[in-house]
Amino acid sequence: MTLVNEHVNGEITSIKPDKKQAYSYLRNKAVQFTPSHLACQFACGGSSCKYCNDIAWTEKQQVIKGLYSNWINEDILAMARPIEPNIIKHDMIKQFRENNIVSLINLQVAGEHSKCGSYMHKSGFSYDPEMFMKQKIFYYNFPMQDFDSTDVQGLLSIAKVIHFAVQQGKVAIHCHAGLGILDKLYET
C-alpha cells in the first residue's frame, strides 16, 4: 500500500492510502493463480525482492530505517516483513521503542515467500518472533495467504486485536510487502 501524507503548515494532518495501485488488477489476478512456490520468483523477484531489501527505499519510505514502512494513522504502522539480519543491522527493536511501537502483528503464513530475500528463519518467517517477544513487544500472528482473498471474519478478528493493541501503544503490522492484505485491512 502506498500512503500519502497530507500536510498543513509543515505538519502531517492525515495519512491516506494513495489510490494508485502498486500493481495492476490483471497482474494481481495472474499471481493469485500462480503456485506459491513460483509466485515469489516471478512476481516478487526471488532473492532480489525489493521488499526484502534494506537499501531499495527512500528515507520517506522508511519510518523504520532499513524497512519499507509507513504510518497508516498515528497509531498503526504498515510495513514489509522485517528480515532478521536487517533487524540486527538497523537495530529495529530500538527503533520500535523510539516510535512507541509495543505490538507486532504478522499476517504471513509460515513458509510463505520462502524464496524472497536472502534469509528465512527456521520459524518459517524472515525473523524469529522471539526476538521481539524477549524485548517485551507483543507478537500476534494471523496467517493469511498472500495474493488470496481474505474472509471478512478473519479481518474482523484482526481489527479487534488491533483495537485492543492500540490501547497499549502503537502497532506495527506486516505481511510480505506491506501492500495487499494491509489494503484490505485498512478498508475494514
Tell me which residues are annotated as active site: 175
Place of cell 519510505: 61
Cα radius of gyration (the chain): 16
Are 157 and 150 in contact, with CB atoms under 8 Å apart?
A: no
Kindly list the distances between the CA atom of residue 107 and the CA atoms of 28, 140, 188, in Å, as whole numbers in the listed order: 18, 8, 15
Angle at CA of residue 181, ends 34 and 45, nearest 5° = 45
Residues with Cβ within 8 Å of residue 185, at least 6 apart in sequence: 107, 155, 158, 159, 173
Beta-carbon neighbour count of residue 127 at 10 Å? Answer: 23
Task: Characterize the bridge pairing of strands 138-141 and 69-71.
Answer: unpaired
Kindly list the distances between the CA atom of residue 47 and the CA atoms of 36, 52, 89, 123, in Å, as whole numbers in the listed order: 15, 8, 19, 19
